[in-house]
Copies of this chain bind each other. A is one copy, B any other.
Amino acid sequence: MEPTDGKRPTIYDVAREAGVATSTVSRALTNPGRVNERTRDRVVEVAERLGYRTNALARALPSGRTRTVALFVSDITNPHFFGIIRGAEQQTRAAGCTLILADTEESPDLEAAHIERLSGSVDGFVIAASRMSDQQIGELTGRHRLTLISRQVGGVPSAIVDHEDGTRQIIEHLASLGHRSVVYAAGPRRSWLAAKRWHAVRAVSRKLGLSATRLGPFPPAVQGGAAAADAALGQGATAVIAHNDLLAIGMLRRFTDRGVHVPNDISVVGYDDIFGADFCSPPLTTLAGQFDEAGRLAIDLLLGARDGTRPPQADNQVVLPSHLVVRGSTGTAPS
């Protein structure tokens, strides 16, 4: 029954069929209060009958609002981002929007390129673990709606998991097991988080009277673990804190291969509590945080800011709690 030549019906088709103007159809469908109930019912009925679907592109063109947001992750392979992606996807959907996903491959240039490319087809960006400089991010904020995850930059809304308090929990845990020194196996040089975690490790260690050493940087992946493990053994470490769980798991494997027993000979702690941290061998003691919540929150911050519901102010920097999950990879210090 569609008056179309095989194409999707438009508001013109609906308008003709219902005997009204396109403007009325448009209002009937999007601005219910603005049109008489009877005509609205008729329009809706006709639209339904014709199988009319509004064309998102056409709708977005005049307003510029696409109801689409982009999420960038620095490495789509890393299970750490699963939670973030899932949370962001859920919340985006809940807001009736669409999520675009892009992998930035640890490259600040690729981040910028993606923004450049998507700018205009997207209402805003959520960047997880951005590798761009503070300055770059600052400049971008002027031109685009932007929200960060696992990164803080003055004036930019963000959601992070508390690394300071979390690191305190880690170090106190190790100290309570009798460890007098810790080694930190660092993540990528450009990673803001890697820097922050090291700072926290050093600060807390100092306060508790432990010595802290930094090794690395190592690639934040399972394969990076071998070098990190060897380096830690070279230091004669009794406890090592890895930049993230991937690295920690890689270290565990290397220790096993080298006949080093965890936790008797050395304790290992990771960050993030990723998938697998609970069933590797031994199960990993790690700092857990609600990263799916961070993903949700980042979307809220972005979309809320967009609607003017919340002012996009500097104080939109949410810090989520973290808690230590103690498993088998940590034990009393060897004597």
Chain A residues with a Cβ under 8 A of chain B: 8, 53, 55-58, 60-61, 66, 76-77, 79, 82, 85-86, 89-90, 93, 98-103, 116-121, 222, 249, 252-253, 275-276, 279-281
Contact = CB atoms under 8 A, between A and B. Distances in A.
A316 B117 CA distance: 31
Query: How many monomers of this chain does the complex have?
Result: 2
Contacts of A253: 279
B98 A99 contact: no
Contacts of A86: 76-77, 103
Given A57-B61, A252-B279, A280-B281, 6 more contacts: A76-B85, A76-B86, A89-B103, A101-B101, A249-B279, A275-B276
Contacts of A66: 57
B281 A8 contact: no
22 contacts: A8-B120, A57-B57, A57-B60, A57-B121, A58-B61, A76-B82, A79-B79, A82-B82, A89-B101, A89-B102, A93-B102, A98-B102, A98-B118, A100-B100, A100-B101, A101-B101, A222-B279, A252-B279, A276-B276, A276-B279, A280-B280, A280-B281
B76 A121 contact: no
Nearest to A101: B101
A82 B89 contact: no
Nearest to A61: B57
Nearest to A89: B103
Nearest to A81: B82
A90 B103 CA distance: 8
A53 B89 CA distance: 28
A103 B66 CA distance: 20
Contacts of A275: 79, 275-276
A191 B86 CA distance: 22
Nearest to A246: B275
Nearest to A280: B279
Most chain B C-beta atoms within 10 Å of own C-beta, residue among A61, A79, A89, A121: A121
A55 B64 CA distance: 10
A121 B56 contact: yes
Nearest to A60: B57
Contact of A101 (B57, B60, B99, B249): B99
Contacts of A119: 53
A120 B279 contact: no
Contacts of A85: 76, 101
Contacts of A276: 275-276, 279-280
A46 to B, nearest CB: 19
A66 B85 CA distance: 23
Nearest to A55: B120
B118 A53 contact: no
Nearest to A71: B101
A76 B99 CA distance: 13
Contact of A99 (B55, B58, B102, B117): B102
A92 B280 CA distance: 33
